Structure formats: C-alpha cells, structure tokens
Amino acid sequence: MDINEIRQFLVKANRSGYGNAQIKDSIGADGSHTITFDDGNWKFHDNYFGGEPFGGREVISYNQKTVWMMVYYGFVEDITLQGQIYTFLKESLLSFDDDLPYRGPSRHENGDWLYINKVDGNFDNFYGEEIISYKSQEVYRTRYQGGVVDQ
C-alpha cells in the first residue's frame, strides 16, 4: 500500500469530516458518535465517545482492509466556553497541512483564540498533542497517536 495514497484519502476525508459544518454524525446504541466518508474502495470511519472528556479513533480501510488508524483523547478545561472552543477547533481542523493531515496545523489564530499542534514522527508512525488557548489561558487539550497498521 502506497503511504501517499492513504495520506491523500485522509485529506479528502478530513475536509468532509468533523470540521465540515455540513456533516452530520450518527449516534449508536452505545452512545458513540460516528462520522464516515467513502470514496470508491476507500473508507474513513471516525468513532468517538463522550462530550467531556472524550475519546475516539479514526480508521482508514481500503478494500475492507484496515491500513491506517489514529486514537485520541481530550477534554475542555473551561466548560463555560465549550461551544466556542468546539467552533474554533472545527475551524482549526479544517486548516490542516496536507502533508500532516491528522488534526490541525502547527499553529492557527483567530482573535483571542490560539490553536497549537505539536506532532512527532511521520505519517506512518506519529504522536502529538493539540492545545487551544483563549486570551492566553489553556482551555482545551487532546493527545493522539497513530500510523499504518497491518502492512
């Protein structure tokens, strides 16, 4: 499997996923939320639990074989800003770099809001952390890791 093909599909899926205001997620019997995106033989599946805190996983499969995944866990520190935090998070997630299409860009600002994403590794084996600050005060944090699987 060509790692660049997986990356290109993730770019498409992320532009159509959580950050996209037109996407609706489904709620399962277990209370989890699921977002899916299909393109030919490719499938993206984002399944997450909770509100605060939350955790989930993203999986990419090709011809019904899982080829890449990422897990994440995070929380909001100031629940009174929850709606604004998630609005800014979605904006940040849609501003990602196509070379690093997991989570958002290394830095994104809008007024008093600041998103920072620190990632180590490369597309096939990585881990990272994203932080949102409002007026220089940290209000959100998520850790994630992932890469290729079953190669």
Alpha helices in 16-100 (DSSP H): 82-93
pLDDT tens for residues 72-103?
999 999 889 999 999 999 899 888 887 888 88
Please tell me the predicted confidence (pLDDT) of residue 24: 60
- What percent of the chain has pLDDT above 90? 63
Say how far apart CA 107 and CA 123 lie, in whole Å: 18
**pLDDT, average across residues 2-7:** 92
Quick one: pLDDT band at residue 1, thresholds 50, 70, 90? confident
**Residue 19: predicted pLDDT:** 54
Q: What is the mean pLDDT of residues 93-116?
A: 90
Measured distance CA(10)–CA(4) in Å, rounded: 10
20 pLDDT higher than 60: no
Structure tokens at 46: 């984002």
